[in-house]
Structure 1
Amino acid sequence: MRQLFGVALLAMTIACGPTAQAAETEYDPAKVSESLKAIFQFGSVATKQALNANTVTLISGTIGGTYVQFGADLASVLDDGNKLRVLPIVGRGSVQSVADILFLQGVDLGIVRADTLDYLEKKGFAKDIKKQFTYVTKLYNEEMYVIASKSVTNISQLNGKKVSVDLPNGGTFVTAAVVFERLGLKPNFVYIEQRIAMEKMRAGEIDAVIAVGGKPYKSVSNFNDNRFHLVPVDYARPLQGDYLPAVLTSKDYPNLIAEGAKVDTIAVPAVLAAYNWAPNTDRYRKLALFVDAFFTKFPTFQNPPFHPKWKEVSLAAPLPDWQRLPVAEQWLKSHNVEAVTRARFDEFLKQSPATAANVKTDADKEALFKQFQAWEAERNAKAQVHSR
């Protein structure tokens, strides 16, 4: 009997041993995670109200695009549980994002292209639309890609040809429409999702595919067919009012550019935009929470593992004809960010005395500032390469 009791006691000790040890070594995740605490306490009315009061939603872009990656980066860095929740939403492109910010309940912010609002207003889709929007910051420049057969060496050869410009609720068709119109070209636009359009181009059903996005742009990087290449887009005078010069290299897209070669193109700014809420509203309060967290933690975004396009972002860079969100403007002034930007602009002028001497009108000043933005983006990109 004693032997049986001893065996039973030993078995109980063995069975209970790991459990007791686990209790000592395992930790309660709720002790270190604000999000889990919130979930566990969700039955509390106060918790529910606090979570909703400090949640900011951001409409981004389509799967595989740069907007989605920026949205994910913002959530990764800024979302700290119930103090500030950042919820990125997969969007359908710049035009749809404008509509979502205006009309979709609960959308606080969105990433849109700078030329989209101009297009909607000039074409009569909206009146005084820029008065309904504010911007937190200009983000980065999105390059334009014209992919066509190697027999096409100039964009003018696409006049009258069948050219895909993505779906009509995105921003690519807007940029393409503006660019071709200003260059006096009239291609036959078709609205096909980019991946499908590229397959149709392979099959000879369409002549070219237009894409607009921050490099490295996934759909362009993934297109491999040695019959096609990137067609240059010159920085012609009709484009200089709204666009920036840009250069693509074989390092950017070895699948479409010969080794050591470069391709000129244009770029359009991407903008972090919001509805123009009155300062005494709760929606404005949430935007203020976001701005403080975003601007305070901004240096984090300009280092790996975040998207390389963050290197191009200058928080204080002005956006012509747009009004900045007042709380964002106040933050920049109180932290002396504008003074730093002016110092960099002065450096640019010193390095370009001939250009500075030609500034005689407001239009000249605007063109000069756009060149400065391009220069600064190139400098940031070079710094990124050297830091690797």
Structure 2
Amino acid sequence: MRYVKFWSAIVTLGCAGGLAILALSTDVRAQTFGGKGAVTILTDAIASPNGRAGRAVLQLAKQLAAKPGLRVLAIAGRGGSSNVDDLLGLRGIDMAVVNSDVLAFKKLTRSRPAVRGRLELVGRLFSRRVLLLARKSTRGLSELAGTTVVAFSGAGYETARAVFGLSQISVDLVGIDRASKAKLAGFEKAQAVVLLEDEIERLPAGVAGEGQPFSVISLPLTPSLATAYDAATIAPGQLSGVAVSKPIATIEVATVLATYHWRARHQRYTDVGAFMKAYLLALPLLRQAYPTANWGRGDLLAPVPGWKRHPLARPEKVLPAAQIAALGTPTEPIAPKPVAVVRAKPLVRPQPNAGTVARPPVEDLRVSVLSHPPFAGKSLAKGGLALELLGHALAATARATRGSPPHLAVGWAPADPEKLGAAFRQNSIDISLPWPTVRCDRPAELTLTSAILCDNVLYSEPLMQVVLGLYVLSNAPISLDKPDSLRGKTLCAAEGQDLSRLNETMRRWIASGRVTLMRRATALDCVAASQRRQADGFIVPDLEGRHLLKRLGVQGLFRMDEQPLATVGLHAVVSKTLPNARQLIRRINDGIRRIRQNAEFAAVMRRHLQPLLQSH
């Protein structure tokens, strides 16, 4: 029960510095208490007066200001778990800005009020990476058991508590007051420091710089941490104030807009529901208005680990498929950061045996990754299946030649044909992935992107094989085993989906007009077209189809035909004009063969695909 009357609570907590109304006039306050159309959002403006979350809410309120019958009122709160307490305990608070790991923190600390089943997700605002700084002798999280760990009080402390709690590692966690200047003495007894990336500036001098006692170490996403966090990478040069010499795996915590589990019969359900619809419709406009702010970064509609989205905040109920796909990509591609190459002194090594692939002189590789879930994606564990397989392949070849694996400077970019061709011709990237197998000997059937690839790149051996399948409505009397059932049907494929590998039967049916091929911008648009009966089915790789249907929550609406249309490889590609292109391709191919011969390949595949396959 939300038990405290709103305005008496505002007076009490406001005097204590816990909660404050931002610029509310008398008529607005009356509207919040009993008026219609006003919704309140609790920010973290007391803890972070100029923070990203507070700015995001104010930008949202400004964008929706002209919406008839809707007022968005920002309220300054303390942030962190305090916002959860106020959202659940104060009448008049509709939504709150919280970190995604607050659910794990509440569960681990068994603090009241209980949150299970009472909070739901409205949307993701932004994400922050978590940094684990440790003394030189520490190599991993497990080695910190029984030691003293420092974190800044507030959200950073709660994240540290959740990380160690979920990992079942007992430490003496000490919180440092964010309001005071942290002194070096506070770190003298600590073996490690946990902080969010925007807390680096709070570190005292002499802690984590070049040659200082603390350095950033890996904090990989484990199955237990995956219940509250996403995977992330810290690349050299990305963070000021801490020394990072090579890419380091870590986790990231999302800052989200959460709401109470309003029921349809509650008087707030209508107003909050109207806000959620307006919020989703405003996202494309916010990206245009603030392209370099939170709204232009990352996948705004990506699932948040541990959270269930409010039924009224589901994008597919409000937005067309094309906008959903667009919101899943940053407004500007994130280019790989330049990496300083550290030249090691030459070592005298035995001449490699005949047949051993010579190690190419590439110590730092610029890898351009296409966001293509579930095979690759910034929010996926280790960047996704394809990227992790590439890393394992390169490492396997390095081990075989007694070398060190290269540093991968990863950038994420859309498959823009013009930019892609220019990048390959100018040698601004070394490797790009994942790209499907194409038939370069069938130029008439190639997409523009495939034609550019055929002209400019060398293909590796397949990192993995995927099945190209036909998805149709579950109750549709369509089967590839019954040719007459496809006569006059329309099948949809994404514009970037190369169909040159289709089996001869389907290619003949399309060429003769027996089956009409519809092209849409993305596979998501093809799903939408099939739902609206504009198409009778869609052609997509099996795993991509599963991922899309799971994301949209419509797994039961479609089925994949048992007969595959094709088997397609996913490859890494290297520009033909790169000086060491053929050496690099040989190195990748050698590594692929090596990991297929041991347990590495199967383990990576199982780790990424098991959750997806279990959901069907």
TM range, normalised to the smaller chain? 0.5 to 0.7
Is 1:58 the counterpart of 2:41? The answer is yes
The runs of 5 or more residues in structure 2 that have no matched partner are 1-23, 210-214, 329-370, 377-384, 387-433, 435-462, 467-542, 544-601
Counterpart position of 2:82: 96
Q: Which has the higher helix share?
A: 1
Counterpart position of 1:21: none
Change (3 A) 1:233 1:262: same
Q: Deviations over 1:150-208 (max 9, x none)?
A: 776655565444333333xx443332123224545433212222353633557747565
Q: Deviations over 1:325-348 (max 9, x none)?
A: 22222x53343349746x953674
Is 1:176 the counterpart of 2:156? The answer is no
Q: Deviations over 1:129-160 (max 9, x none)?
A: 33212211233332112346677665556544
Is 1:266 the counterpart of 2:251? The answer is yes
Is 1:86 the counterpart of 2:72? The answer is yes
Is 1:325 the counterpart of 2:571? The answer is no
Counterpart position of 1:10: none
Is 1:191 the counterpart of 2:175? The answer is yes
- 1:281 counterpart SS class: coil
Counterpart position of 2:471: none
1:108 positional shift: 0.9
Is 1:345 the counterpart of 2:367? The answer is no
- 2:257 counterpart SS class: strand
- 2:278 counterpart SS class: helix
What pairs with 1:1-388 in structure 2 (closer than 5 Å)?
49=31, 52-61=35-44, 62-63=47-48, 64-80=50-66, 83-125=69-111, 129-147=115-133, 154-155=140-141, 158-167=144-153, 170-183=154-167, 185-194=169-178, 196=180, 198-200=182-184, 204=188, 208-212=192-196, 217=198, 219-221=199-201, 223=203, 225-229=205-209, 230-235=215-220, 237=222, 238-258=224-244, 261-303=246-288, 305=290, 308-319=293-304, 322-329=307-314, 332-337=316-321, 340=325, 344-345=372-373, 348=376, 351=434, 353=464, 364-365=610-611
Q: Deviations over 1:63-110 (max 9, x none)?
A: 154322322332232233874322222322321111111012211111
- 1:57 counterpart SS class: strand
Separation in 1 of the partners of 2:108 and 2:186?
A: 35
Counterpart position of 1:376: none
What is the letter of the counterpart of residue 176 of structure 2? I
What is the letter of the counterpart of residue 220 of structure 1? I
Answer yes or no: is the 8 Å Cα contact 1:150–1:228 preserved in 2: no
Change (3 A) 1:203 1:266: closer
What is the letter of the counterpart of residue 43 of structure 2? S
What is the letter of the counterpart of residue 54 of structure 1? G
- 1:247 counterpart SS class: strand
What percent of counterpart residues are identical?
Answer: 23
What is the letter of the counterpart of residue 141 of structure 1? S
The runs of 5 or more residues in structure 1 that have no matched partner are 1-37, 370-388
What is the letter of the counterpart of residue 172 of structure 2? N
- Which range is displaced more, 125-134 or 278-287? 125-134
Separation in 2 of the partners of 1:245 and 1:293?
A: 30
Separation in 2 of the partners of 1:206 and 1:346?
A: 40
Answer yes or no: is the 8 Å Cα contact 1:249–1:257 preserved in 2: no
Q: Which has the higher strand share?
A: 2
Count the aligned residue pairs: 321
- Which range is displaced more, 202-211 or 171-180? 202-211
Q: Deviations over 1:243-290 (max 9, x none)?
A: 2221223443222135x6444321123321100112233312221232
Separation in 1 of the partners of 2:166 and 2:262?
A: 34
What is the letter of the counterpart of residue 287 of structure 1? V
Change (3 A) 1:296 1:225: same
What is the letter of the counterpart of residue 217 of structure 2? P
The RMSD of aligned alpha carbons is 4.2
Change (3 A) 1:248 1:104: same
- 1:196 counterpart SS class: coil
Change (3 A) 1:251 1:108: farther
